[in-house]
Structure 1
Amino acid sequence: MFNFNPREDKFFVMFIDEAKNIHESAILLKKGFENLDNKNEIAKLLGDLEHKGDLMVHDNIIELNNAFITPIDREDIFRIIKKMDNVLDDIDSAANRLIMYDIKEVTEESLEMCDMIIEITSELLKLMEELKKIGKRNSMVEKIREINAIEHKGDKLYRRTITNLFKNTDPIEIIKWKDIYLILENTLDSCEQIAAIVEGVVMKHA
């Protein structure tokens, strides 16, 4: 049985708070792609959420260093923290590419990838909410499978999109969009990597 005291349980609360911040950022990212006239304002809001995420990482690491006992392995806590930070960094980077490359019109594929990021970060939040139930009845395995399925769907879309992109005759557009698509795909990959870490935690506590 796992009986966490409030200090130990704080790690799970932190994970949930970080996942909420990530999901909010994903929703904003889609708005940035849909509303290019407001891309600067939306990028600033995302920058604020990214900074908020950095503070969360800092606080989590301090808490981890000060903790005598942790509910799951320290290494797993640290890896989850860093991977969630990577997701947030990628979302912020994708929004800023719209400004850096002066994107005037987005593609249907990029909007579809943004939808997948919203979907996968929603599942990531649900997974973090389930993680606090480790050692009890939970639906973590189902959430992990769902995240894997979304990432797999994203992989297929990415490959198809890049194939079509190189049929474009404008080399500048190819360079711009190849970079943007790669960042969006990396965001999905990082979410799947978090799910893989959690899957390892589940196996350890099975």
Structure 2
Amino acid sequence: MFGRLMPTEGKFFELFNQHAELCVKGSKEMVALMTNFDDLEIRVHAIESIEKQADTVTYNTIELLHKTFITPLDRDDIHKLITRMDDILDLLEDAGQTISLYDIREITPEAKRLAELCLGCAEKVKAAVALLHNMDNSREILALCEEIDRLESDADHVMRAAMSKLFRDEPDVRNLIKLKAIYEILETVTDRCEDVANIIEGIIVENA
């Protein structure tokens, strides 16, 4: 039954793929921002633009959900998946705006590493979502979800080490507060990617 519905309701999967691609684009902009502060405002603006595009995809998905009588996945799963994916870009936008508003002049290697882990997670999310239209891909999808879990765990370790170093070595309290906020936002991006992976794993269990 699941397979028969696919051709008529493929639009949902197209929208998921569009959003996942935007998550990767936003993450790449964040890594670029962390690599070169000379382009800070350009990168922040780019992330904001990508986030707005993602909002449109999210809106279109939910609108389609309301208009579609029979959906290829559970309605609640569709809603949870697209909104959790949207959370990823909301947080990337928050990170960029926070760096700009806090007037941070120099980023740490730990913050850059967290941004790289965000990108790694987003790329795995994109890969998993791209396979979701066919439950014959379930084994590969689950392997990608495990990779997301591993990357999120890596981000936890990086943040704990970064916080320890920050409270131990940073003499400027204001700078400590600023960097702490950046670390927490970026680590939360990986948490939201893990949430997406958990939703996808649930979809596989229900439909494979």
TM-score (ref. length: structure 2) = 0.95
The whole-number CA distance in structure 1 between the counterparts of 2:56 and 2:203 is 25
1:204 aligns with 2:199: no
**Sequence identity of aligned pairs in percent?**
29
The whole-number CA distance in structure 1 between the counterparts of 2:71 and 2:191 is 27
Corresponding residue for residue 189 of structure 1: 191
Corresponding residue for residue 175 of structure 2: 173
Superposition deviation, residue 49 in structure 1:
0.5
The whole-number CA distance in structure 2 between the counterparts of 1:37 and 1:177 is 18
Number of equivalent positions: 205
C-alpha contact (below 8 Å) 2:51/2:90 kept by paired residues: yes
Deviations 1:162-184 (A, max 9, x none): 11111122110111011000000
Structure 1 runs (4+) deviating above 2 angstroms are: 4-7
The whole-number CA distance in structure 2 between the counterparts of 1:109 and 1:163 is 11
C-alpha contact (below 8 Å) 2:33/2:40 kept by paired residues: yes
- What is the correspondence of 1:5-84 to structure 2 with a 5 Å cutoff? 5-84=6-85
Bigger proportion of residues as helix: 2
The whole-number CA distance in structure 2 between the counterparts of 1:78 and 1:109 is 34
C-alpha contact (below 8 Å) 2:98/2:182 kept by paired residues: yes
Superposition deviation, residue 17 in structure 1:
0.6
- What is the correspondence of 1:28-177 to structure 2 with a 5 Å cutoff? 28-134=29-135, 136-138=136-138, 139-167=140-168, 168-177=170-179
The whole-number CA distance in structure 1 between the counterparts of 2:40 and 2:177 is 20
- Residue type of the partner of 2:194? E
Which secondary structure state, in structure 2, belongs to the residue aligned with residue 127 of structure 1? helix
The whole-number CA distance in structure 2 between the counterparts of 1:51 and 1:183 is 19
Corresponding residue for residue 4 of structure 2: 3
The whole-number CA distance in structure 2 between the counterparts of 1:140 and 1:158 is 27
Superposition deviation, residue 155 in structure 1:
0.7
Superposition deviation, residue 137 in structure 1:
3.8
The whole-number CA distance in structure 2 between the counterparts of 1:62 and 1:125 is 22
The whole-number CA distance in structure 1 between the counterparts of 2:46 and 2:53 is 11
The whole-number CA distance in structure 2 between the counterparts of 1:195 and 1:118 is 15
Any stretches of 5+ residues in structure 1 without a counterpart?
none
The whole-number CA distance in structure 1 between the counterparts of 2:13 and 2:166 is 41
The whole-number CA distance in structure 2 between the counterparts of 1:95 and 1:30 is 11
**CA RMSD, Structure 1 to Structure 2 (Å):** 1.1
C-alpha contact (below 8 Å) 2:94/2:185 kept by paired residues: yes
- Residue type of the partner of 1:75? D
TM-score (ref. length: structure 1) = 0.96
The whole-number CA distance in structure 1 between the counterparts of 2:127 and 2:42 is 29
Superposition deviation, residue 35 in structure 1:
1.6
The whole-number CA distance in structure 1 between the counterparts of 2:167 and 2:22 is 35
